[in-house]
Structure 1
Amino acid sequence: MNDLVLILDFGSQYTQLIARRLRELDVYCEIHPYNALSSLPRAKAVILSGSPASVHDPIALDIDLSQIIGKVPVLAV
C-alpha cells in the first residue's frame, strides 16, 4: 500500500496545485475538508492548505488539531 499524505483544505486556492505537485513526485495524496478531521484515514504526513483569512483575524477558524500534531509531520501552507 502507498504511503498517504493528507491535504486538509481550509479554502486555499492552491490546494489542487499542491496535490498535483505531490502526484508529479509519485506521492499518493488525498484532499479532505478541514472539518472532517475525525474521519480521516491514517497518514504518513499532513499538509494544512490555508485559507485566505489571516490567522490573526477574529473570525479565523479555531480547529483542534491535537489528533495529528506530534503524531505525524505537519506542513502548514
Structure 2
Amino acid sequence: MAAGPVLVVDFGAQYAQLIARRVREANVYSELVPHSMPVEEMLAKDPQAIILSGGPASV
C-alpha cells in the first residue's frame, strides 16, 4: 500500500515551493496546495503529513 503525500499548504510564504522541493529530494511525494482548499479535500488525499508554510508576514 502506497503512503499518501506530504501536503505543503501555501499560505503565501516565499519558501512554500522550496519546502515542497526539499521534501521531494528526500524521496517523499509532496503536493503544494492552496490554503483555500477545503480541509475535507486535503484529508481525502490521505496525507502522511501536512506542512503549513506560513504567510507573507511570517518572514
- TM bin (shorter chain): 0.7 to 0.9
The secondary structure found in structure 1 opposite 2:56 is coil
1:35 CA drift (Å): 1.3
CA RMSD of aligned residues (A): 1.4
In structure 1, the residue matched to 2:14 is: 13
Aligned-residue identity in percent: 50
In structure 1, the residue matched to 2:54 is: 50
Which one has more relative contact order, counting CA pairs under 8 Å at least 6 apart? 2
Unaligned runs of 5+ in 2: none
TM-score (norm 2): 0.79
TM-score (norm 1): 0.63
| Structure with greater proportional helix content | 2
The residue type paired with residue 48 of structure 1 is L
Q: How many residues align?
A: 54
Unaligned runs of 5+ in 1: 55-77
